[in-house]
Amino acid sequence: MDAQTDRRPAVIVDDVHVEYRVLATGKRPTAADTGRNMLQRSRSRTTRTVHALKGVSFTAYENDSIGIIGTNGSGKSTLMRAIVGLTPVSRGTIYASSRPSLLGVGAALIRDLSGERNVVLGGLALGMSQREIEERYDEIVDFSGIRDFIELPMRTYSSGMTARLKFAIATAQTHEILIVDEALAVGDQKFRQRSESRIREIRDNAGTVFLVSHSMRSIRDTCNRVVWIEKGTLMMDGPTEDVVSAYEEAQAK
C-alpha cells in the first residue's frame, strides 16, 4: 500500500458482496405437488440465493490496466457490473473517481438500421452529445474499417464487422474508467492489434482500464496488473506475469 500512495486511486472496491435471489422454476413437480399442494408450492417456490461475490476488495489506480481473470462463472462479469453500478451490491461499497463505463454499446444498436444511424444512436446511448458524435464520426468509421458498408443495415454485417463497429463506437468517447468485457476476442488479427493499442492509449491518458478476458495473450499484451477471481473470492492480485503464471499452473492441473 505504502509504495503506491503517490498514485491517485480511481476505483476502490471495499469488501463487496453480491447476492442474487433467483426463483428456481426449473424443478420437476413431484408426486406430492398435486391438488391443494399446487397452491402452496407456488407460494413457496424455492428462491435460491446465489452468492456471486463474497467479499472482494482491491484498489485500482490511475494509469492502471487491470486484467480480470478466472474460470467461467467465477464472478468476473458480476464484479464489473457492480463497478459500473448496474448490479447493486448486497454488502460493501465501491468508490470511483468518475462514473465507470462498460464497453458494451451493442444492446443500444438497432439491426434494421444503417451503420451510420447506429453510430449516432450508440454514441448518444453512451452519453455523448450530438455534436461530439458529428466531430468524431469519421474517426469512428475509419477505426471500424467498414466505410464501404456504412449505409447498409447492420443486419447485413458479418459478426466481425459488427464487433468492430461496436468497439469503435464504444471507445470513441474519452473514458476515465473503462471496462472491456471479452470484446477483443472477435475480429481479425489486425483489428485485435489496433484495439489493444487503443486500450493502451486510454490507459496512457491517465485512464484506468479493466479487461475481462480468457485470452492470456491479450492480458499479457495490455495489462500491468491482474486480479484473479475464483468462486466469488479474490485469489490473487499482483503484477501480470506472476498472477497469469499462477493461474495457468492451476488450470493445467
Partner 1 sequence: MTVADEAAQYGLHRVGGRPPLGQYLAEVWQRREFVFSLSKFRLEAEFSANRIGMGWILLRPILNAAIYGLIFGVLLQTRRNVDSFIAFLVVGVMLFEFFQACFTAGAKSITSNQALVQSLSFPRLALPLALVLQKLMQFLPTLSIVLIVAVANGSRPSLTWLLLIPLIALFAVFNTGLTFITARLTVHFRDLTQLLPFLSRMFFYTSGIFFSIEQRFSDHPTALKIVDWQPIHEVLTLGRAIVLDGPQYQIPTEYWAYLSIWAFGLLALGTIFFWSAEERYGRTD
CB of 79 to partner 1, least distance (A): 12
Q: Which is nearer to partner 1, 79 or 244 (CB)?
A: 79
Are 186 and 194 in contact by the 8 Å Cβ rule? The answer is no
Q: Which is nearer to partner 1, 71 or 101 (CB)?
A: 101
Q: What angle do CA 166, 170, 201 make, to 5 degrees?
A: 120
CB of 119 to partner 1, least distance (A): 11
How many other CB atoms sit within 10 Å of the CB of residue 122? 26
Q: Which is nearer to partner 1, 62 or 230 (CB)?
A: 62
CB of 103 to partner 1, least distance (A): 9
Are 95 and 12 in contact by the 8 Å Cβ rule? The answer is yes
CB of 107 to partner 1, least distance (A): 4
Q: Which is nearer to partner 1, 109 or 223 (CB)?
A: 109
C-alpha cell recorded at residue 223: 495489462
DSSP letter string, 127-165: T--HHHHHHHHHHHHHHHT-GGGTTSBGGGS-HHHHHHH
CB of 241 to partner 1, least distance (A): 28
Q: Which is nearer to partner 1, 104 or 232 (CB)?
A: 104
Strand order in the sheet with 225-230: 101-102, 177-181, 208-212, 65-69, 225-230, 233-239
Q: Which is nearer to partner 1, 156 or 251 (CB)?
A: 156
- Cα–chain-centroid distance for residue 231? 18
CB of 126 to partner 1, least distance (A): 7
- Interface residues with partner 1 (CB under 8 A) are 8-12, 14, 20-23, 81-89, 93-97, 99-102, 104-108, 110-113, 117, 120-121, 124-127, 129-130, 153
Find, among 139, 133, 101, the residue nearest to 119 by Cα: 133
Spatial distance between the Cα atoms of 229 and 243, rounded to a whole number of angstroms: 11
- Cα end-to-end span (Å), the chain: 32
